[in-house]
């Protein structure tokens, strides 16, 4: 069963007790790979709900300003979902700059719920590596490495 929430879905309506993960990271349309569906399917297959900020009806003509209601709604949805998620996955695509993802890493680094995928070639990999080291954030070089870790962790948790 797929349980995936995207803006502007009401995440308050999710089933009680459902563990969730927020898919943060590179989302620059036309530049970043569309990595979210792969991870959404992976997490759904192991019984974890997904907050996916990639909005199907996103309109690139929307001004990214506080006074734009569509933009404001998107950013508020993301911040709310980041707060409510049990885990946050951050993926830094080497083909992007991802300034908002870097901001989110700073906001949630000390939350204890972040895991990072930062392959070689990301322009600020050194900064990401240091933040992960200082805040004891799990750091992976690929999405497949992250998935293996979560599968091992989930399998171990369900055996206890």
Whole-number pLDDT of residue 94: 95
Q: Where would I find the beta strands (DSSP E) of the chain?
A: 4-5, 20-25, 49-51, 87-91, 114-117, 139-140
Element holding 116 (H helix, E strand): strand 114-117
Q: How confident is the model at residue 159 (pLDDT cuts 50, 70, 90)?
A: low
Residue 158 has pLDDT above 80, yes or no: no
Whole-number pLDDT of residue 152: 81
Q: Are the beta carbons of 67 and 73 closer than 8 angstroms? A: no
Q: For all residues of the chain together, what is the average pLDDT?
A: 91
Determine what percent of the chain is predicted with pLDDT higher than 70: 94
Whole-number pLDDT of residue 2: 63
Q: How confident is the model at residue 156 (pLDDT cuts 50, 70, 90)?
A: low
Q: How confident is the model at residue 1 (pLDDT cuts 50, 70, 90)?
A: low
Element holding 4 (H helix, E strand): strand 4-5
pLDDT, tens digit (0-9, with 9 covering 90-100), for 92-115:
999 999 999 999 999 999 999 999
Whole-number pLDDT of residue 59: 80
Write down the CATH number for the domain with range 4-159.
3.40.50.450
Q: Are the beta carbons of 97 and 71 closer than 8 angstroms? A: no
Mean pLDDT of 66-89: 96
Rounded Cα distance between 11 and 51, Å, is 8
């Amino acid at each position: 069963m797929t349980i995936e929430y995207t803006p502007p879905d009401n995440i308050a309506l999710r089933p009680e007790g459902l563990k969730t993960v927020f898919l943060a990271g590179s989302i620059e349309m036309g530049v970043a790979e569309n990595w979210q569906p792969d991870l959404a399917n992976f997490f759904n297959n192991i019984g974890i709900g997904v907050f996916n900020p990639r909005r199907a009806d996103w309109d690139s003509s929307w001004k990214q300003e506080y006074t734009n209601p569509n933009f404001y709604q998107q950013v508020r949805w993301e911040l709310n979902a980041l707060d409510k998620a049990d885990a946050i996955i951050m993926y830094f695509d080497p083909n992007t700059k991802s300034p908002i993802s870097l901001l989110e890493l700073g906001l949630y680094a000390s939350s204890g719920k972040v895991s990072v995928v930062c392959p070689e070639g990301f322009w600020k990999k050194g900064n990401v590596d240091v933040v992960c080291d200082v805040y004891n954030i799990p750091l992976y070089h690929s999405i497949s490495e992250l998935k293996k870790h979560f599968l091992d962790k989930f399998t171990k948790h369900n055996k206890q």
